[in-house]
Amino acid sequence: MMRLIWIRHGETKGNQMKRYIGHLDEPLAETGKEQAFRLAEALSREKIDFVVTSDLKRAVQTARPFLQKHPGIPVAVMPALRECSFGIWEGKTYQEAEKLAKEAWWNWIRDPVRFAPPKGESLMDLHHRMQCFLRELEQNRPGDTVAVFTHGGPIRWFVAYHVYQCRDDFWKPSIGHGEGWVAEKKEAEWIISRSLFQKGDF
């Protein structure tokens, strides 16, 4: 049985200020570094066969404490695991983004499947790159437990599309920074079996 441990990167200063970060390459804030060490302890209780991480700094830094404790575990850095691009809203607070393009912002909030941030990625763009990532992982690592260090968007996509089996539920999953969910594939279906810290709403 394949297991994926989906981990959202630790907190950045932009996250603390409620800014859209997207493809901007922010490092972890001090709280994010503390979250990364806490994750390393929790993950050390799991049998991890392989680690994959987004290439963005905040995800790589979140993975680092665990990898330093377990240097023998193979790791791959994959741009496919990046957060969605938020286009003209990147670096803006939620309120600033709404003022910048109010109609586009509300359309996207109400229906992220059919609308995208101006000059940003659509949910279908995210879908295509994440499906390619998942197919490759299932082909190359069947039966393994894989720690996936990524971002809120890819995790929401996985839960909405593969667990709820409803893309329209993209906003429903809520996972905090520095938290992780364990997903298991049973026969042809994915389920979320538990949280690393028993937090989050899946």
Average pLDDT over the chain, rounded to an integer: 95
Could you tell me if residue 11 is inside a domain? yes
Catalytic residue among 11, 83, 121, 179: 83
Q: What is the pLDDT of residues 105-115, one digit of tens each?
A: 999 999 999 99
Q: Which residues contact 70 (CB under 8 A, 6 or more apart)?
A: 44, 48
In the chain, pLDDT over 70 holds for what percent of residues?
Answer: 98
Q: What is the pLDDT of residues 65-95, one digit of tens each?
A: 999 999 999 999 999 999 999 999 999 999 9
Could you tell me if residue 201 is inside a domain? no
Q: How confident is the model at residue 188 (pLDDT cuts 50, 70, 90)?
A: confident
Q: Which two tokens stand for residue 70?
A: 């377990």
Q: What is the pLDDT of residues 121-134, one digit of tens each?
A: 999 999 999 999 99
Could you tell me if residue 47 is inside a domain? yes
Q: Which helix (H) or strand (E) holds 53?
A: strand 50-53
In the chain, pLDDT over 90 holds for what percent of residues?
Answer: 94
Could you tell me if residue 103 is inside a domain? yes
Number of neighbours of residue 80 by Cβ within 10 angstroms: 18
Dist CA 196 CA 202 (whole Å): 13
| Spatial CA neighbour of 112 closest among 151, 156, 164 | 156
Looking at residue 4, what is its pLDDT? 98
pLDDT at 183 over 90: yes
Contact between 1 and 39 (Cβ < 8 Å): no
Looking at residue 187, what is its pLDDT? 85
pLDDT at 104 over 60: yes
The domain that holds 47 is classified in CATH as: 3.40.50.1240
Could you tell me if residue 27 is inside a domain? yes
pLDDT at 202 over 70: no
Catalytic residue among 9, 151, 162, 177: 9
- What is the residue range of 105's domain? 3-195
Could you tell me if residue 200 is inside a domain? no
Give the number of domains in the chain: 1
30 is catalytic: no
11 is catalytic: no
Could you tell me if residue 7 is inside a domain? yes
pTM: 0.95
Q: Which residues contact 64 (CB under 8 A, 6 or more apart)?
A: 36
